[in-house]
A and B are shown apart, each in its own frame.
Chain A
């Protein structure tokens, strides 16, 4: 649901905190690993993942109620 930050890889640049339009990282401090204060307000647009300078340091978990519904491939 919220962005998930890998604190080992995070370089604490706070770029994600600055760009998030919903401000889910509200209250995060510069020089610290961002804290997701309002996880339910995440709108899953991937802005934070797109701007993160370290690939893999932040990712989205798409919540269960938002999973795509699709038809399985027919195997005959």
Chain B
């Protein structure tokens, strides 16, 4: 396999919103920066096709009491996020500056010359999200990064971090189109690698790509952070989301309608007719509502936008195009689906993996020289942009006092990866990555899914480990594209096993972690649940937020 060496002060892994913002800021402060992206930075990550809402505190509008505003966020968009208030505070000290920067760079953050607050808020409560036209945000951020001399390498899947004693000194990846290993010697690394989205079965069985995050966010960052010894948090806390059935898309805040049943009866009490400023907060406060209605024999539930003027409809469609919905809006136009006439069924999407890489308000992880931002630590567009920026800033400051350490050719991490890839290429008659994904997902769903109890988890873990070993021994690929897909599956298997261990260790019921053998929430566990690797063992711990 050909080897290529690349040197940089700061290596940003993943070129989504967080990765590009980190790259922009680090380069601005004089660091040499490389972005390594699995796809193409212009169309990668959750913000690939755009976004239309950005949470920000604006002192002139919200007044001086930032904490009251943060409390409001905890009642609304941030209700399910298990992070400390210090992080939220750090985000909102900075988010408005980022809004102004983006506006200067050509991402329109104002609507008709004003801050337009809408969605994700209760009527008569403080508004938390501004509408913005993010349709071309990735293109604009890419050009801002290039302007500052950032080197972008597309089509490289990063696999592992390389450490020297306690600090990160680089990383190794594989090209997804050519038989080539890329070794990065970097004084610091920022992980902006996105979600871990293929751990549980997709909405359509076996149809791996019907996922609102897309297919390539496979927890690569958290898997490599864990293998290098960084702390991960709350992997066992699953998430559910709500959106249109069966065309999976997030962004329920963009829909201006009322959630109603077949007979036109509202499911919630927040709005009684479509309101441009407030979507129906039932989607925020109870994402399980459609599933519960169906189970109770009262389904289905619809997002009903029919009681809407043409002008309001035009407004909503404008934001849908910016929110990254063009595939759906073009499909609706071609099918004659008109939201003024047709209520769209909404559903509770299947269970998804949760958790994050532990990072503080400076985006520092528990490993020296390693930073994390965006969905891999604490996501949403505003947090990704803000902590990406802060991570890049702090990485650039950190590298000023660090000397580059050379990575030896026979570094054990590189040798291990080379052997793994050679084995995959050498296997015959084994499963491909899709077969393994289906086995992984069904085991996750059946044994660490909606209901978990000790015996179920123990049996699931045994089976999971057998699948994992068989995968290691037999998984095969016929070209670099498939090799990368296989390596994604190995990362998912890594995170899946840790999810079992953490679910066993959380002896309580909380949120969607449903343990009938421990049916109550234990207030003593209002803490971050941590896992990290220590030699060949795992250390599980609880820490205050």
- Which residues does A use to contact B, with CB under 8 Å? 18-23, 26-27, 37-38, 40-47, 49-51, 60, 62-63, 65-73
Give Cα A60 to B329, complex, Å: 12
The segment out of B24-32, B244-252, B534-542 that lies at the interface is B244-252
Which of B39, B44, B345 has a CB less than 8 Å from the CB of A70? B345
- When distances are taken between beta carbons in the complex, the residues of chain A under 8 Å from B246 are 65-69
B342 touching A72 by the CB < 8 A rule? yes
Q: Measured between alpha carbons, how far is A68 from B243 in the docked complex, in Å? A: 11
Closest to B45 in A: A21
Given A50-B326, A70-B337, verify A45-B344 contact (CB < 8 Å).
Answer: no
Shortest CB-to-CB span from B123 to chain A, Å, is 26
A-B contact pairs, 11 of them (CB 8 A): A20-B43, A21-B44, A41-B209, A43-B215, A44-B327, A45-B43, A62-B247, A68-B245, A68-B328, A69-B245, A69-B344
The one of A21, A43, A65, A71 in contact with B38, judged by C-beta atoms closer than 8 angstroms, is A21
Q: Place the interface of chain B in its size category.
A: 35 or more
Instruction: Tell me if B207 counts as interface (CB < 8 A to partner A).
Output: yes
Instruction: Report which B residues bind A (CB closer than 8 A).
Output: 38-40, 42-44, 48-49, 154-155, 176-177, 204, 207-211, 214-216, 244-248, 262, 300, 302, 324, 326-328, 330-332, 335, 337, 341-345, 434, 479, 481
Give chain B residues whose Cβ lies under 8 Å from the Cβ of A41: 208-209, 215
A18, A21, A51, A69 interface centre (most CB from chain B within 10 Å): A21
Most chain A CB within a 10 A radius of its CB, from B214, B216, B343 = B214
Q: Find A46's partner among B177, B216, B326, B337 (CB 8 Å cutoff).
A: B326
Do A46 and B215 form a contact, CB below 8 Å, given A18-B40, A66-B210, A68-B245? no
The 10 lowest CB-CB distance pairs between A and B, nearest first, are A21-B39, A46-B327, A69-B345, A43-B214, A47-B43, A26-B481, A70-B342, A65-B204, A73-B341, A71-B343
CA distance A23 to B483 in the complex (A): 13
* Across-interface contacts of A62 in B (CB, < 8 A): 247, 327, 331
> In the assembled complex, which residues on chain B have CB atoms less than 8 Å from the CB atom of A71?
262, 302, 342-343, 345
Residue on A with the closest CB to B211?
Answer: A43
- Residues A66 and B39 in contact, CB atoms below 8 Å apart: no
Bound complex: CA A66 to CA B43 (Å): 22
